[in-house]
A and B are shown apart, each in its own frame.
Chain A
Amino acid sequence: MSTAIAIAGVRKTYGRTIALHGIDLAIHQGEFFGLLGPNGAGKSTLINIIAGLVRMDAGSVSVMGYDTVRQFREARRRLGVVPQELVFDPFFTVRDMLRIQAGYYGCGREVWPWIDEMLERLDLAGKATSSMRALSGGMKRRVLIAQALVHRPPVVILDEPTAGVDVELRRTLWAFMTELHRQGTTVVLTTHYLEEAQELCGRIAILDHGALQVVETTAQLLARHPFRFLRLKLADGARLPEALQELVAAEVNGAIELKLETRRHSIASVFAALRDAGIAIEDVQTREPDLEDIFIDLTRDDRASQRSVA
């Protein structure tokens, strides 16, 4: 499989703070790849290094086989980045801004129909002649997305594109990105909405404290921890038997959530313990672990230092 982004031994320090500890990562062409991690994990530093905004101390990065330092023109023409911050140029209209952005990448009038198509797809057509400064935050975010795609790059990085945006834009964006991905575009996504990553990404890397904790397919990641959750609402406010207390993971709205390891605890054994204690069950629900449970498990401070770097 050809590599869209190859990251080898990338290190970065800010003063005494080590932002990236030597990252090795290959993102394949055609992937929808998730780069996850808590705030300060180093995600944006890594993305900014790929984009050319930050200079790495050691290592190398290539985009579609082109080194981002030595062959920066070729690499950048193949990359579109939606930055995390809501930045804009107040002097121009939306359409002018997109045409200017296309020009930076060596594209002329031939991309103007594509610009108009993106304006339609991102619900910006009505704002095409509006000044950038007159747009709402959500509209500015749409323009940023269009700017990243204006030169039709084969690789797109979205750095928290849905932070603070409404449901409608989220749906519009994901429908558009899913379609581009189907057409062959490699998409790299960072997000704090883990359900988005779980739904969209085929493979996920989790970065914490400047090091990769894990790089696996989403399915492997979800299967990584053999547990499930059992949520019980006990009749008459009864207390859980002592033997089950160690399994309690959370209490939500009067219901108790138990975390069951599939090899050690069966649901039947929990029901049997309740029956033996004479406790009636009012309601019961089961839930498979989702990405959020695994993310929390992998990025928990007290364990991070013990885990080997992937």
Chain B
Amino acid sequence: MSPDQIGFMTLLKKEVMRFWAVLGQTVTAPVITTLLYLLVFAQAMKDRASAYEGISYTEFLVPGLVMMAVIQNAFANTSSSLIQSKVMGNIVFLQMAPLGPLEWFGAYVLAALVRVALVAIAMLVVTLPFVPLPVEAPLVLLAVFLLAGAGLAVVGMIAGIIAEKFDHLAAFTNFFVMPLSFLSGVFYSVHALPPLWYHASHLNPFFYMIDAFRYGFFGHADVPIWQSLIWCAGFFLLSSAVCLWMLITGYKLQK
């Protein structure tokens, strides 16, 4: 391996070790939280007609919950790592190291993908005995997982770079990630919404991530799969462009 590759692999390993050191917070807690959603909503809404024919409401719910956990945890992983490093001051170790913008970008995003893969796999394994799911389009499932996880990891990096204290990051989470993820059709099909909210949902990128993820399991969804994939890819590319610009110019990182 070249020195640059060793540097990249070290940063990736360090970021994985960071969340691994607090696995209870970073993997177990989100799995339990999401399972509680499943328990409560599945019980409360079990008599409700499902959005898709032949699929129970509980089955409909699981993919959305998994993707919501992916979205929230991918964002949390990169944003919390960066803000902690900034507040503690140890970000100087990275800033003084011979690591370029692409190494920063790649290592933070890949580490977040490792974490959300663990969260998603744990959730699917735990729910499998109660809610067996078909997998109709595995490649779509994988593509959407990677695009959504990476996209939100990148947005987390942007938030971590912009934020100067934990309050700023909490604002990103409370006013951006949480509302968009709850209003993305996790708990319902958008066809059940009034026209205004139906159209508003189509401006929410998280809606396409969840809808496409459901397509991967059931083979059908609320909007055509190509449309969702374009939204997911577009979201990832746009956020990546912004993040890389920040890293290259040293925005908020270099004084």
Contact = CB atoms under 8 A, between A and B. Distances in A.
Interface of A: 14, 48, 51-55, 72-77, 79, 81, 83, 85, 87-92, 96, 100-101, 103-108, 147
B106 interface: no
Nearest to A147: B93
Interface residues of B, number: 31
Interface in B25-72: none
A286 B3 CA distance: 57
Contacts of B17: 91-92, 96
20 contacts: A51-B95, A53-B96, A53-B254, A54-B254, A54-B255, A55-B254, A76-B96, A77-B3, A87-B90, A89-B85, A89-B90, A91-B17, A91-B21, A96-B17, A100-B10, A103-B11, A104-B7, A104-B93, A104-B99, A105-B97
B4 interface: yes
A73 B13 contact: no
Contacts, number: 91
B11 A104 contact: yes
Contacts of B100: 72-73
Of the candidates B88, B93, B95, the one having the most CB atoms from chain A within 10 angstroms of its own CB is B93
Given A48-B255, A53-B254, A73-B100, A104 B89 contact: no
Tell me whether chain B's interface is mostly helix, strand or loop, or mixed.
helix
B24 interface: no
A246 B98 CA distance: 57
B125 interface: no
A289 B101 CA distance: 50
A296 B23 CA distance: 55
Nearest to A14: B255
Given A54-B255, A89-B88, A104-B7, A76 B93 contact: no
A53 B95 contact: yes
Given A72-B98, A103-B13, A104-B98, A91 B7 contact: no
A214 to B, nearest CB: 27
Contacts of A52: 95-96, 254
Given A103-B9, A104-B11, A106-B7, A89 B93 contact: yes
Contact of B88 (A55, A90, A105, A108): A90
A107 B6 contact: yes
A75 to B, nearest CB: 8
A103 B7 contact: yes
B191 interface: no
Of all A-B residue pairs in the complex, the 7 with the closest CB atoms, nearest first, are A106-B3, A103-B10, A87-B89, A104-B97, A73-B98, A76-B98, A89-B90
B254 A106 contact: no
Contacts of A53: 92, 95-96, 254-255
Nearest to A148: B96
B52 to A, nearest CB: 44
A104 B15 CA distance: 12
Q: In the complex, which of the residues B17, B21, B89, B255 has the most CB atoms of chain A within 10 Å of its own CB atom?
A: B255
